[in-house]
């Protein structure tokens, strides 16, 4: 249940719930470890989240809006507006990725430039 875009193979965007341990470390909620608790509780209330991509990219940690809940395979927002904001963050990632791809393609077409002798 994520976002895809033509021309961006290997990229699917989604939101992940994260939590902080008392010692300051962070972890992403996972379908295996947290699934039973989420099913019993009707989702797990989260205070932080990240926008993520299948390529491994993650946004900086973001404070989750009130009433945001993590469920196996998706994050439930109280208001659809927040889902749109998350999708916009992922879109920025894809635009940056495409710019890098275009730059790499240009370099490969031009070949390695030789220094100009004077």
Instruction: Pick the closest to residue 53 from 102, 3, 104 (CA basis).
Output: 3
pTM of the predicted structure, to 2 decimals: 0.79
Token pair, residue 35, equals 């699934």
The Cα angle at residue 27 between residues 21 and 30, in degrees rounded to 5: 125
For 39-71, the pLDDT digits (tens) are: 878 899 999 999 999 999 999 999 999 999 999
Residue 64 and residue 41: Cα distance in Å, rounded? 18
Residue 44 and residue 105: Cα distance in Å, rounded? 44
The low-confidence residues of the chain, meaning pLDDT below 50, are none
At residue 50, the 3 state secondary structure works out as: strand
């Amino acid at each position: 249940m994520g976002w895809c875009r033509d021309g961006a193979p290997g990229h699917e965007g989604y939101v992940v719930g994260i939590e902080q341990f008392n010692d300051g470390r962070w972890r992403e909620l996972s379908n295996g470890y947290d699934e039973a608790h989420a099913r019993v509780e009707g989702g797990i209330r989260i205070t932080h989240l990240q926008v993520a991509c299948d390529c491994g990219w993650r946004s900086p940690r973001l404070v989750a809006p009130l009433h945001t809940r993590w469920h196996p395979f998706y994050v439930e927002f109280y208001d659809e507006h927040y889902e749109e904001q998350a999708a916009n963050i992922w879109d920025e990632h894809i635009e940056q990725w495409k710019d890098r791809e275009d730059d790499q393609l240009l370099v490969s077409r031009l070949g390695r430039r030789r220094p100009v002798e004077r």
